Amino acid sequence: MAVSVLELRRRGYSEDDIALARVTQDAHRRAGAPYRSLTEILAGQPARPRPSAPVEDLTVRQLRRRGSYGQAALIADQAALAEKDPDRAAQARYHAQGLKTLAQMPHQLEFDFFGGGNVSLGHQFIDTVQSRLLQSDATSAEQDAAMATLLLIVRHLGWQSYTCEKTATDLAEMRGKKKQAMAETLALLEKVGAISRVKRGRTKVITVTPEGAFRGDVNRHAEAVDRYRAEVVQLRPEPAE
C-alpha cells in the first residue's frame, strides 16, 4: 500500500528528504531502473524483484486463432510486462488494449444506430447537400445526377468508414455514364461540400464527412472526426487562386 507524504512527514522525514527521494525516484524511472516507492527509497530498501511475465500459449494454432491484431496485442502485452520504464509500459498496455478491440470482429446490427454501431444514411446530411445544390447554378439534370451519385457513394461506404469503396470509374459504370460526365458530377458534389477527393497513389479516393457517413457508437464519433481531419482535410489540395 502506498504511503502518503503526510504519513512520511509524521514518521519524521523532512521536506528535503522527501524531495530528494522524489528526484531519485524520477532518475531511476528515466534510467529504466526497477521501481521503488518513496518509502523504500527513504528507508534505503532495495527494489522489489519484477514479476515474471506469464507464460502464454504461443503455439501456431493459437496464434492463428488470435488473428493479426490479436497477435500484435499479445506482443504488446508481453512487452509491457518486460518493460522497465513505467511510462513506456503504460503506453504499451494502452496500445495493446486498442489492438484487442480491433481483434474483435464487428457484428452488423440492423437498425441499431446508436448501440453497437452501424453505417446508415445521414438524412440531415443529404438534406443539406440537396439544399446547397438547389442554391447552386447547376441545372435540374445536373442536380439529379449529383444526388443519385451521392446516394450511390454513401451506399458503398466501408464499414463504419467515410471512404467510398468505389472509384469514379466504378461509379460511372454503375450509373451507365461516361467518365467525363461522372467527373463533372463529382466536381459539383465537391463544390457544394458533399464529398472530398484525396489522391492516394494513382487513384483519387472519394470520401464523405463523418456526419454524412458515420452512424455508429456516438461515443466514438469524435474519434472518427479526428481521423477524418488527419486523413482527408489535411491532404486536400490548396484552392486555386
Residue 216 belongs to domain with CATH number: 1.10.10.10
- In this structure, are 152 and 196 located in the same domain? yes
Cell 531511476, located at residue: 28
Within a domain: 73: yes
Contact status, residue 41 vs residue 21, Cβ threshold 8 Å: yes
Sequence-ordered alpha helix ranges (H) in 5-164: 5-10, 15-31, 38-43, 60-82, 86-103, 123-135, 140-155
Within a domain: 127: yes
Radius of gyration of the chain (CA): 28
pLDDT at 60: 63
E strand or H helix that includes residue 174 = helix 168-175
Rounded distance between C-alpha atoms, residue 215 and residue 122, angstroms: 8
Rounded distance between C-alpha atoms, residue 165 and residue 37, angstroms: 54
Domains in the chain, number: 3
Rounded distance between C-alpha atoms, residue 238 and residue 204, angstroms: 16
- In this structure, are 152 and 226 located in the same domain? yes
- In this structure, are 136 and 230 located in the same domain? yes
Within a domain: 198: yes
pLDDT at 135: 93
What cell does 42 get? Answer: 527513504
Domain of residue 84: give its range: 68-103
**Residue 204, beta-bridge partner list:** 199
Contact status, residue 186 vs residue 168, Cβ threshold 8 Å: yes
Helix (H, G, I), strand (E, B) or coil at 221: helix
Cell 506482443, located at residue: 75
Averaged pLDDT in 10-residue chunks for the chain of 241 residues: 74 84 76 73 68 54 69 81 80 82 54 42 76 93 94 82 88 94 94 87 82 55 68 60 49
